[in-house]
Chain A
Amino acid sequence: KAGVTQTPRYLIKTRGQQVTLSCSPISGHRSVSWYQQTPGQGLQFLFEYFSETQRNKGNFPGRFSGRQFSNSRSEMNVSTLELGDSALYLCASKDGSVTGELFFGEGSRLTVL
């Protein structure tokens, strides 16, 4: 099985712009979660989608949004980019097993100038 695929891997934006990141989960996984990783804050949970519905949400401003499509692929969007949004954005998928482990993609590294 292919793993979790994230695109693009690297991108550079300027303040005020917006960005859309894409995530394709492992085949058969219906849950997709997004995390922001920064050196200072570590891994912070953004949101989780399951069957096209947002199931959980972290403590991020409304500039951060996401969605999930019927094929379980997910996108996240950040509008009005700030310098502090520079981070590695990680997507993870999971199946319905009780163990609940996440399987991560390699991330999209966003640099905001």
Chain B
Amino acid sequence: GEDVEQSLFLSVREGDSSVINCTYTDSSSTYLYWYKQEPGAGLQLLTYIFSNMDMKQDQRLTVLLNKKDKHLSLRIADTQTGDSAIYFCAENHQAGTALIFGKGTTLSVSS
């Protein structure tokens, strides 16, 4: 079956690292994605990782993929108040099919 699960809330202090976790059920997923949604806006693609990779780094963002456990994480280094948003992970288990999204993790950053 297809299901993507995330914890609903994460609260951190400015300057700390944030780690947002996601689990998925479809082991045939080829790409996994992280999207960010700010209030009143659509979803913005942050990064994606191919399923044969363990890690991908892009400036303050680090994505870790544990394919055996079907676990994906997004680490944001030096978290800023502007990082406060909802973060969605998504999987695309087969080319030509719809992306399946988790329900999103609300990240709250306090100064």
B35-77 residues with Cβ-Cβ distance < 8 A to A are: 35, 40-45, 48, 50
A98 at interface by CB-CB < 8 Å? yes
Q: Which residues of A contact B98 (CB under 8 A)?
A: 33, 45, 48, 56, 58
**A102 contacts which of B99, B102, B104 (Cβ < 8 Å)?**
B99
Q: Which of A45, A58, A101, A105 is B42 in contact with, Cβ under 8 Å?
A: A105
Question: Given the interface contacts A101-B33, A101-B48, A103-B45, does A42 sit within 8 Å of B103 by beta carbon?
Answer: yes
Within 8 A of B (CB), among A96-113: 98-107
What per-residue 1/0 map shows which CB atoms of A77-95 lie under 8 Å from chain B? 0000000000000101000
Check A42–B102 contact: CB distance below 8 A: yes
A: interface residue count bin? 20 to 34
Measured CA separation A77–B55 after assembly (Å): 41
Chain B residue nearest in CB terms to A3? B42
Would A104 and B102 be within 8 Å (CB), given that A43-B88, A55-B96, A99-B31 are in contact? no
Query: A58 — which chain B residues lie within 8 A by C-beta?
Result: 98
Query: What's the Cα separation between A99 and B92 when bound, in Å?
Result: 9
CA of A92 to CA of B90, assembled, Å: 14
Distance of A104 Cα from B37 Cα, bound (Å): 10
**Which residue of chain A lies nearest to B101 when distances are taken between CB atoms in the complex?**
A43
The residues of B that contact A101 with a CB separation of less than 8 Å are 31, 33, 45, 48
Q: Is B111 an interface residue (CB 8 A)?
A: no
| Smallest beta-carbon distance A54→chain B, Å | 12
A41 to chain B, nearest CB (A): 8
Indicate whether B100 reaches chain A with its CB closer than 8 angstroms: yes
Q: Is the CB of B104 within 8 A of A42?
A: yes
Docked CA distance A42–B30 (Å): 22
Could you list 16 examples of A-B contacts with CB < 8 Å?
A33-B98, A42-B102, A42-B103, A42-B104, A48-B98, A90-B42, A99-B48, A99-B50, A100-B30, A100-B92, A100-B95, A101-B33, A102-B43, A102-B99, A105-B42, A106-B42
Q: A41-B103, A99-B50 are in contact. List 6 more A-B contacts (CB 8 A).
A: A43-B101, A100-B30, A100-B95, A101-B33, A101-B45, A107-B42
